[in-house]
Chains A and B, each alone.
Chain A
Amino acid sequence: MRRAIMIGVIFMAFVLLTGCWDRRETNDLAIITGVALDKNKEGQIELTAEIHSPGGSGNGSGGGEDNNQGGVQSTVLQIGKGSSIPEAIENLNEKLPREILWSHAEAIVISKAFAENGISDELDFFVRHPEPRLRSYVFISDGKAKENMALRPSLERSVSEALIKLAESEVLMKATLFDLMEMLKGEQGAIVLPMIDKLSPEEGQLPSESIAYIHRSAVLKQGKMIGVINDQISRGVLWFRNEINESIVTVEPDEADEIISMNLIKGRTDLVPEIDGQSLKMTVKIVTIDDVIQNQTSWDLKRLDKLKALENELVQKIEKRLTDTLDTVQKEMKIDIIGFGEEFRRHHPKKWKNIKGDWDEKFPTVQVDFDIDARVLRAGKGSET
């Protein structure tokens, strides 16, 4: 009797332990690699999903090298429409024979029109859903987002992969879903996101062979896009936010009429806020280390006085860049995307409570001082004519 029961239990285990309810086989999945969000004329959300096509990458018989050759499409596009993102996804699901897997959607492209209407409510989906990753990169597209997704970049397998690589190269602005959330939650709700643009196709190229690239940055307030800043200002913003990693600075010393170019090795920014009665002061402390990569002038950079002069030029150049940034961001747009408010809150929590309410008026009046320490580490060999 007992043996019979034990055998019964064991057989039940066979049935129950397979975990059939939530099995997901790779060939039953539609792996989404990128998402584009648009708003069409009727105000509906159009969600364009870039789906990894198994035929595209699976046929590399001779190893991984020739995967992308021969014009095999490695991704397919599918559009879902609806009044909200979940509805659009359901609509998308109806058109897809496979179950959607979100966990590889690492590029989210939002169209300008969409962003102008506000993104915070719609982003809730990506935050709440357990699958999409916080590290997904978010972009704003100039023009329709899905047009960017339809491009066929020649180097990478798909647009989203190209975009991810671009963001990771850190030449310009990058923002992950998490950064976006943090900025939304921040004291001011001021957000800056990278914008992507299509390169107009070269002669003899098909329109779809052009590539998308990061160009300018979008500025959002309370989740709504209100403006655009150009690449120069974007870099300045990166300096303020201590996010600068890649930069080439070119100076043109007054005495010499040619240029010297330097590559940034290290840049570190500390914001030191001070509150003195009613006046607010921010000292921007920057330490940067650069290498010379091109010297067209007659300066002999092996000489200490010239090197010092060069460092001085560098300081002035950076300060100029940052002052330009401040002119645009602080004086014109009057939006705190450079994180001043957050610094005031962190260092002067008690006084911040009084300022917080009318920060929008206070922000343009903040007096900014610069304390820049630039060092040129290697002058390089090069010509000494």
Chain B
Amino acid sequence: MIEKGKISALQMGLLMYHAILATGILFIPATVFNVAKQDIWISPILASPLGFLSVYIAYKLNKYYPKDTIMQYSKHILGTFWGKMLGLLLLLLLITSLSVMFWQYGEYVVSEFLPHTPKSVIIGMMVILCAFAVHGGLEVLGRLAGMVFPVFFLLFLVIIILVLPDVEVKRMLPVMENGLMPSLKGAWVLCTWFAQFGIIYFFLPFLTDREKGLKFGMLSVLVVTLTLVVTNIIVIWLFGNVTENFNAPFMSASRYISLAEFLSHLESIVMAIWIAGTFIKLCVFYYVVVIGTAEWLNLSDYRSLVLPMGFLIGVFAMQAFLNSAEAAEHFRIVSHEIMDTLVYGLLIPIFLFLGAYIRKTIFKHKVRRTN
């Protein structure tokens, strides 16, 4: 096995929590608002079954092949050649996805906080930082997630509480003005995020307490859903129909806080939360890409790939989109038309699961017949 470290199921749950929510907490309310209007808080609830399904499929596959990650059992299921091809497809999707995440990070920091700093420096620094963490291995990531989560959650609660004096519940009315359709459309947008839970298939084989894997995976989906619901409700209570004017409503909400005339300008807190969360998210995907490549190439160690892969991803991230219109087009495609995350998070695992199911039942029959 390529990864010698082990993490607990709880740590895996925390890793997944950050991997989904870090970008989501900022961008989800505005993206979903475009279609769901004041019903944005219903959408996460409607979209969460997809997350549960992704986790469940990954868990089932892991039951069939407890010691392997997706790169290895795709070979068992489809045969060496097709397994490798599927693995390559998966890697390409993950690499592009990761490069877009790095781009998003860089773009946001540049546009909101450090307008004069070159983007290459911001992205480059993050790549180097993530490379260090990924080089440390899975255990390091697990501990990092365990360390960041309490801070993340506490500051999140602080922001929510400080926003409360300004909220007005009636901004949320009328609930379901145009029926269920808008919130369903919003849920479809959210599928991009929930489908990412699929990458849990890279972590399940490395658990110390494997029987708890499903439980904590499901719990992670649940907590993500709850966090999103709370965020969306707060945003809609605070901003109502003005939400669409903001790129990142949660950030604007923190900017809006002003208590007793001195407790104001708290956006740096949100920025701190966000950078910490995004760091974990980027690390998770970076790790997945690196370990996936190493397994795909049958290497015995993945650490030598960390830096060159980081360099490649950094280059792709720099080049990802030339202007905000191209980026908007990309995000429109991934959130309304066809989603790359849906392909690698759900479609490929389901496909593999069906293959494995057929193979296992046929194999069982054969065994019985020979007996």
Are A103 and B116 also in contact (CB < 8 A) when A178-B242, A181-B242, A346-B174 are? no
In the complex, whether B255 has a CB less than 8 A from a CB of chain A is yes
Determine the distance from Cα of A178 to Cα of B163 in the docked complex, in whole angstroms: 14
Contact status A16-B170, CB under 8 Å: no
From known contacts A21-B116, A182-B242, infer whether A347 and B174 are also in contact, taking CB-CB under 8 Å. yes
A264 at the interface (CB under 8 A from B): no
A185 touches B117 (CB 8 A): no
- CB neighbours (8 Å) of B117 from chain A are 19, 21-22
Contact A182 B241 (CB under 8 A): yes
Of the candidates B113, B125, B255, the one whose C-beta lies within 8 Å of that of A22 is B113
Residues of B within 8 A of A178 (CB): 239, 242, 256
Please tell me the size bucket of the interface on A: 10 to 19
| Residue from A19, A103, A345 in contact with B174 in the complex, judged by beta carbons closer than 8 Å | A345
Cβ contacts under 8 Å, A185 to chain B: 240-242, 245
Interface residues in B98-113 (C-beta closer than 8 Å to A): 111-113
Query: Is the C-beta of A207 less than 8 angstroms from some C-beta in chain B?
Result: no
Across-interface contacts of B174 in A (CB, < 8 A): 345-347, 349
B255 touches A21 (CB 8 A): no
Q: Given A22-B115, A22-B117, A103-B265, decide whether A135 and B258 contact each other with a Cβ distance below 8 A.
A: yes
CB distance from B172 to the nearest CB of A (A): 9
Interface residues of B in 222-251 (CB under 8 A from A): 239-242, 245
Q: Which of A85-93, A126-134, A284-292, A361-369 contacts B (4 or more CB under 8 A)?
A: A126-134
On whether the beta carbons of B115 and A346 are closer than 8 Å, the reply is no
Tell me, yes or no, whether A380 is within 8 Å of chain B by CB. no
Q: Which residue from chain B places its CB closest to the CB of A349 in the assembled complex?
A: B174
B252 pairs with A134, CB closer than 8 A: yes
Residues of B near A186 (CB, < 8 A) are 241
Q: How far is the CB of A238 from chain B (nearest CB, A)?
A: 16
A107 and B144 CA atoms in complex are apart in Å by 44
Residue contact B170 to A346, C-beta cutoff 8 Å: yes
Cα(A345)–Cα(B241), bound, Å? 13
Range for the number of chain B residues in contact with chain A: 20 to 34
Give CA–CA (A16, B120) in the complex, Å. 12
- Asked if B118 is an interface residue, CB under 8 A from chain A, the answer is yes
A18 to chain B, nearest CB (A): 11
Contacts of B242 in A (CB 8 A): 178, 181-182, 185
Complex interface bits, A315-353 against B, C-beta within 8 A gives 1, otherwise 0: 000000000000000000000000000000111010000
Q: Is the CB of A134 within 8 A of B241?
A: no
**Shortest CB distance B236–A (Å):** 12
Nearest-CB residue, chain A, relative to B178: A349
B114 to chain A minimum Cβ distance, whole angstroms, is 4
When chains A and B are docked, how far (Å) is the Cα of A16 from the Cα of B118? 12
CB-CB under 8 A from B118, the residues of chain A are: 21
Taking CB as reference atom, which chain A residue is nearest B251? A130
In the complex, chain A residues 201-256 whose Cβ is within 8 Å of any chain B Cβ? none
Question: B interface vs A, CB < 8 Å?
Answer: 111-118, 121, 125, 170, 173-174, 177, 239-242, 245, 252, 255-256, 258, 265
15 contacts between A and B (CB under 8 A): A16-B125, A19-B117, A21-B114, A21-B116, A22-B113, A22-B115, A103-B265, A130-B111, A134-B255, A135-B256, A178-B239, A182-B239, A182-B242, A185-B241, A186-B241
Q: List 14 extra interface pairs beyond A135-B258, A181-B245, A182-B241, CB under 8 A.
A: A21-B117, A21-B121, A130-B112, A134-B252, A134-B255, A135-B256, A178-B242, A181-B242, A182-B242, A185-B240, A185-B242, A186-B241, A345-B177, A349-B177
